[in-house]
Chain A
Amino acid sequence: MHLQLTQEQDLIISMVRKFVAEEILPLELTLDADADDLPEEDRLRLISKVKEMGLYGLDIPVEFGGPELDMVTRTLIAIEMSKHRAGLYSPCYGVFGGAGLAQLFEANDDQKERYLFPTLRGEKKGFFGLTEPSGGSDPARAIQTKAVRDGDDWVIDGSKIFISGADKADFGLLFARTSPEKGRGGVTCFIVDTDTPGFHVRRIVHTLRSAKYATELQFENMRVPDANILGEVNKGFAIASDRLNRQRIPYSAGCIGVAIKAHEMAVEYSKIRETFGATLSSRQAIQWMLVDNEIDIKQSTWITLEAADRVDQGLSFRKEAAMAKLVATEAASRVVDRSLQIHGGYGVTKDFPFERWYREMRIRRIGEGPSEVQRHIIAREILGSSLL
């Protein structure tokens, strides 16, 4: 693995860093501390700028019109994009464009016409419906929503929880049990239109992430045509698992970007803030906190970049992606906590971004597979089938 950035990578990182500093940070001075999107005029203006930079649609595969970026560069961009208050869950407020639902890239031609291409054009939005009240870490066993075949349709009954964006979506990917006796192998992925009779968004679920809510869904006698099965019956989990594992890498990078920004602010503050006649930076207690920040950031950066490099080399990366997710989320939590502590009382005010980072970073240790599940994945990779 090369430890030196290429000239092109340097250029791209500089562009994104400048974009955040000159476009995003000034706007954040006027936004609510929990803002999750930009005024429409600013959003469109910045999307236009990102397109000029050639970086719009970062996660869209090249064959579908996305920019040609290797995973290491994508990871470095993700780090830069998240260096602002809303950066953890809304890096640059979405102006770099999203790819929508990764699984749709594996859809058949008809499904691509009806769902993928309209999503890429910005005409449709989708949600991802996996977690249920019965569980989310082990969906293979926890999924109780059932789909029963009835002629050319499937009739779906059940519920989902902690689903983002379902109230505003036009369609969603819904995982339901089609063969009760088959465990993980008995789950099918359906594409469901949200105006289907029997589809209900029952309530909003408020969380630590006060900028955005999740939802609870209920399906009552909901008919979905057989043509809306994504992939094959009973093979719902096989779809795009490679893409899902890849997503853990930019996810980790987002945590690192916030950690870097928090640490930078802590370093600067420690140089100017005085207690008992001396700056905080002269105190060993503070110095060691900053040292621990530096080490946490370095370790998580290198682990994450290694995972990204393995993707680019075509090597297996499941273990490395899990390690990146585990290490980056836990390390970034520690960095934000220390940086908040260094800022004292100001650290817990909404005048500074730390309180939002502190709350949102806590969620990162649970979402996309909690730390315990990542450890299980890593153990399985180390020990092989003897673990089971």
Chain B
Amino acid sequence: MSLRLSKQWVPLNPQSAGQLKGELGVFQLGNENKEVIYIGSAGSRSQFGLRGEIITHLKDAAFFRIEVTSAYSTRFQELLMLHHADFGCYPTLNSESDTAKLGKLSPMGKQTCTYN
């Protein structure tokens, strides 16, 4: 598993989101420039897993990508901390409650270029 969520972006629309399975995991939403604007997770309280969570964001973003994992809680925190380590800020759509209790990471290497 790579440290950063570096999979190919998928255009976000009802068809692509609807084809997702109801698995647990984490996801990123990207804007038209494929910049991460939100990091989310689908945990045990989500009704339809990743599919259910991403469908609620159809109007927020142009792209998405997912990672299926049962460690959704810690991976969610890790992705937010990595984003902060790379860009000095959290994704614009993540709320204060998502980030208030996060720690700090100083990973080897930095993601500085635009996501693919």
Q: Which residues of A contact B (CB under 8 A)?
A: 31-37, 165-169, 200-204, 206, 210-213, 215, 350
Contacts and interface: CB of A to CB of B under 8 A. Distances in A.
A207 B59 CA distance: 35
B34 to A, nearest CB: 24
B14 to A, nearest CB: 27
A203 B107 contact: yes
B106 A204 contact: no
13 contacts: A32-B43, A32-B45, A33-B44, A33-B45, A167-B81, A167-B103, A167-B104, A200-B106, A202-B106, A204-B77, A204-B81, A210-B74, A211-B74
Given A201-B105, A202-B106, A204-B105, 19 more contacts: A32-B44, A32-B73, A33-B43, A33-B44, A34-B43, A34-B44, A34-B72, A35-B73, A166-B103, A167-B104, A203-B105, A204-B74, A206-B74, A210-B70, A210-B73, A211-B74, A212-B74, A213-B71, A215-B103
B3 interface: yes
Contacts of A200: 106
Contacts of B113: none
Nearest to B70: A210
Given A32-B45, A210-B70, A211-B73, A204 B104 contact: no
Contact of B106 (A36, A37, A201): A201
Closest 9 CB pairs of A and B: A167-B103, A33-B44, A168-B103, A350-B44, A213-B74, A206-B71, A204-B78, A210-B71, A200-B106
Contact of B107 (A37, A202, A206, A211): A202
Interface of B, secondary structure class, is loop
Contacts of B3: 203
Contacts of A169: 103
A213 B77 contact: yes
Interface string B90-113: 000000000001111111100000
Contacts, number: 62
Interface string B40-73: 0001110000000000000000000000001111
B75 interface: yes
Nearest to B85: A201
A33 B73 CA distance: 10
B78 A213 contact: yes
A168 B73 contact: no
A308 to B, nearest CB: 33
A215 B81 CA distance: 12
B64 to A, nearest CB: 21
Nearest to B78: A204
Contacts of B72: 34, 210
Nearest to A32: B43
Nearest to A169: B103
Nearest to B100: A40
A202 B108 contact: yes
Contacts of A201: 103-106
A213 B102 CA distance: 12
A186 to B, nearest CB: 29
Contacts of B73: 32, 34-36, 210-211
Nearest to A200: B106
Contacts of B75: 206
Nearest to A214: B74
Contacts of A202: 105-108
A119 to B, nearest CB: 17
